[in-house]
Structure 1
Amino acid sequence: MSTPFLRSTIQSSLLRRSIFRTSTIQQNIRQFHYTSPNMTVHNISTTEDWKAALKNNKVVLLDCFATWCGPCKAISPMLVNHSNDEQFKDVFFAKIDVDELPEVSQELGIRAMPTFMLFKDGEKAEELVGANPPALLGLLKKGVEA
């Protein structure tokens, strides 16, 4: 007598799960959009690329990171969000891996990761050491000021 009841309970539970799963997938699909970001964070892989970035852009924000650095990984999405922000459209966002470009990191005097450097007209204007989101935002605002 309990077997039909148990069987119907299991079937209705499976039905509820499949309905819920379908509606969740449909909600996720509806939220996705195909717009491209305004800007990107450029990965600098050679010394020549770095020199060209400084020469060709009025304001450059450089993120000096390492792949093994936890705080670097934590703040990276915030940097990408700022690069897509309209108020920072004139800032060239760049990243260098200090392990891949040791000559650039030595030239810049990198002591810790992450280190953010703001360059104006090819000259270093500001520096921020550490993963501090409010300070990073402040550094970017200094970059867009006249």
Structure 2
Amino acid sequence: MGLNAAKNPNDKIGIYYDSLDIYASYRNQQVTLATLLPTTYQGHKDVTVWSLYLYGNGVPVAPYLAPALAQDLNAGILLLDIRVDGRVKWKVGTWFSGGYRLHVNCPAYIMFSDRSAGAGVQVGPAVKFQLVQRCTVDV
């Protein structure tokens, strides 16, 4: 799954992204390994694009999630939350802020053409997802 982009809509404030981890969760359980995003400075009105992948081979899920997962797999669609957690700093002129915690959540659907995936989700080398709604960002 590739991450799309982040936009800085401000024309006076730059953003330093530092120590950001991205991962996917299913019903609030992390189901991929966290991937560290590269440290990035995003200038005024800039758009930053990251090209990375999330991996979750053989990830067990909590037993209480099994009925919901089986139902989602049978329907051929899975709702995951793509999450980013880390730290950001702001730059205004020559002034730098202290660090702030950043939490981003992007609900996304993954559709499967093969509904007979069984107990595990077996997908090809890459899976595309469709965002359900805009991402929520908390700083």
TM-score band, normalised by the shorter chain?
A: under 0.3
Give the structure-2-normalised TM-score.
0.27
- Between Structure 1 and Structure 2, the one with more helix by share is 1
What is the TM-score of this pair, normalised by structure 1?
A: 0.26
Q: Which structure: greater strand fraction?
A: 2
